[in-house]
Structure 1
Amino acid sequence: MGKIHYFFLLKFSMVFLAVGAASNSNITTDQSALLALRDRMIASSEPQEILAKNWSVTSSVCDWMGVTCGPRHRRVTALNISNMKLTGDLPPQLGNLSFLVSLDLSSNNFHGELPRELAHLRRLRYLYLGINNLGGELPSWFGYLHKLQQLTLSNNSFSGSLPPSISNMSKLESLWLTDNSIEGTIPIEFQNLHSLKILIIDRNQLSGPLPLHTFNISSLQIISLFQNSLSGILPDTICHALHKLTYLGLGGNNLIGQMPSTLSECSMLQTLALPLNYLRGPIPKAIGNLTVLETLALESNNLRGKMY
């Protein structure tokens, strides 16, 4: 019995030490990833100097500025260093923050392409990278972020076309891509984004026919495609599935034809903005049935008739 008892204690101790070592290794991995980010930043401004001093190995990662750790595993679950005038490129080690749920680097001066290793952040739900100088083509590996709910890449220098793999993010609710250089069409695969509520791709270089498949996403509340080069007509079926839509912005494109009376089927519309197109004909009486409409922008078209 003594030998059995000793063997059990020895085995238990080995397991305990192994778990402890793994735990230390994990938090050390998080620390190394954040230090790699710190070291990529150019220390040319006061916020960067503050961050360089605060992110020190003499203190716990969980006490660092902008860092949030989970209460259970004590791993980094959120990183928010937005609006700090930080400059630098993003290191591949960020992909090692395997417990990360939210990453907010917005309103800085980060540049370069997104490291492919970010595809390893399988727990990520919120990714905010807007108002930076990031560029390159939108990566196809976005499709690996199956839990992502919000993706904001506005005000950067992303180019190329929209990757169809974005449709693999089945939980995506919000997609902001304003002020980039994205070209081509919206892939038909986007119709599989059944949770999408907000789609904003203003001031890009989208072209081709109006992506009617997008208007089949019944969860959409906001569609804004201002200042692109989209063409075609507004079909009679445009509002058949959009009973939750509150904002429709298609101004500054190359749309032609008449305004369909079926726009009144978007009964929750608060804003209807179709200026700077080539629409013609009468303004349909049915627009008057939009009882919660607050803003109607139709200027710089070839519309005629009177408002009812």
Structure 2
Amino acid sequence: MASAGTNITTDQSALLSLRAHMVTSEPQQILANNWSAKSSVCEWIGVTCGSRHRRVIALDISNMGLSGTIPPQLGNLSFLFSLSLSKNNFRGELPDDLARLRRLRILDFGVNNISGELPSWFGSLQKLDYLFLRNNSFTGSIPHSFSNISNLKALFLSFNSLQGTIPKEIGNLRELEKFVAEYNQLSGSLPYELFNISTLEVIALSENSLSGSLPLNFCQRLPRLWWLSLSLNKLSGQIPSTLSQCSGLQALSLSTNEFTGTISKEIGNLTLLEKLYLGLNNFGGRIDPHSQF
């Protein structure tokens, strides 16, 4: 049943408010001409309406050369399950009103110039499957409330200015498949809880200031892992010989850290490996000439 007091006119007003907050930098003025009160919202470019309630359920205006800010009225699109404003030039902070988009499953603000701290209210969007915030100007730390997004499968935070530690509560994301937060300023050790998420396929945390060592038997708990990228950090200790148990690994990048010890010949058992980067560490010993690298 539709929310009391809201209808397609509510959705129309929200979208017209978004249009009004855009700078006239849209190259071809597509939205300026197409998003008009003279036509049905469901016929507007980038808008998809549901067949049952005829309310806006998806908005995709990505890669249209748009510029401007995101108005709080966007939070009135109460039936929205997919929102993509990626690859534009939206700026400013995200309004708290977006926390009311409780049906969202896909949220993509990637490749813009959105700033401010990562909002803790993301944790209230508990139906989210995919959250893309890469290539923006976000600051602050990763909120602990992210752990409330229990359905989350992909979290992309790369190319921002995030600081602080990776919260151990991330281990609560039991369906997470891709955790990508490269090119930030994250510090502290890798939380042990991260390596308990058995669904993880991609861990990409290169170009941060992470320290500490790799858990000894983490591969036993990550049977689906095929991409591990931790280069350009401050990680130390030895690379576990049990790394060979990550049998599905296709890419392993551990270069430019402070790892010591020897390179285990068991790495040669990673038969699916296509990319291997181990340079600029503090390894010793010699490479076994009989290794199957």
Do they fold alike, i.e. is TM over 0.5?
yes
SS in 2 for 1:180: coil
Structure 2 residue 136 is the aligned partner of structure 1 residue 148: no
> 1:125-173 CA distances to partner (integer Å, 9 max, x unpaired)?
0000001000100011001101000000000000001101111000000
CA distance in 2, matches of 1:219, 1:226: 20
| Equivalent of residue 263 in structure 2, options 283, 286, 289 | 283
Runs of 4+ in 1 over 6 A off after TM superposition: none
What is the match of residue 19 of structure 2?
A: 38
Q: Pairwise mapping of residues 8-27 of structure 1 onto structure 2 (< 5 A)?
A: 25-27=6-8
Structure 2 residue 189 is the aligned partner of structure 1 residue 209: yes
> 1:41-88 CA distances to partner (integer Å, 9 max, x unpaired)?
0113324x2211100000000000000001111000000000011111
Structure 2 residue 293 is the aligned partner of structure 1 residue 299: no
Query: TM-score scaled to structure 1, two decimals?
Result: 0.91
CA distance in 2, matches of 1:205, 1:212: 19
What is the match of residue 213 of structure 2?
A: 233
CA distance in 1, matches of 2:125, 2:133: 15
Q: Conserved in 1, the CA contact under 8 Å of 2:86 and 2:109?
A: yes
5+ residue gaps in structure 2?
none
SS in 2 for 1:56: coil
SS in 2 for 1:181: coil
Shift of 1:230: 0.4
Q: Pairwise mapping of residues 92-131 of structure 1 onto structure 2 (< 5 A)?
A: 92-131=72-111
Select the structure that is richer in helix.
1
Task: Tell which structure's C-alpha radius of gyration is larger.
Answer: 1
Structure 2 residue 69 is the aligned partner of structure 1 residue 89: yes
CA RMSD of aligned residues (A): 1.5
| Equivalent of residue 76 in structure 1, options 30, 40, 56 | 56
Percent identical: 59
Q: Pairwise mapping of residues 118-267 of structure 1 onto structure 2 (< 5 A)?
A: 118-267=98-247
What is the match of residue 268 of structure 1?
A: 248
Q: Conserved in 1, the CA contact under 8 Å of 2:136 and 2:159?
A: yes
Of residues 284-293 and 108-117 in structure 1, the stretch that sits farther from structure 2 once superposed is 284-293
| Equivalent of residue 65 in structure 1, options 24, 45, 66 | 45
Shift of 1:211: 2.1
CA distance in 1, matches of 2:107, 2:122: 11
CA distance in 2, matches of 1:235, 1:88: 45
CA distance in 1, matches of 2:241, 2:90: 46
Of residues 146-155 and 237-246 in structure 1, the stretch that sits farther from structure 2 once superposed is 237-246
SS in 2 for 1:191: helix
CA distance in 1, matches of 2:11, 2:230: 43
5+ residue gaps in structure 1?
1-18
Shift of 1:234: 1.8
Query: TM-score scaled to structure 2, two decimals?
Result: 0.95
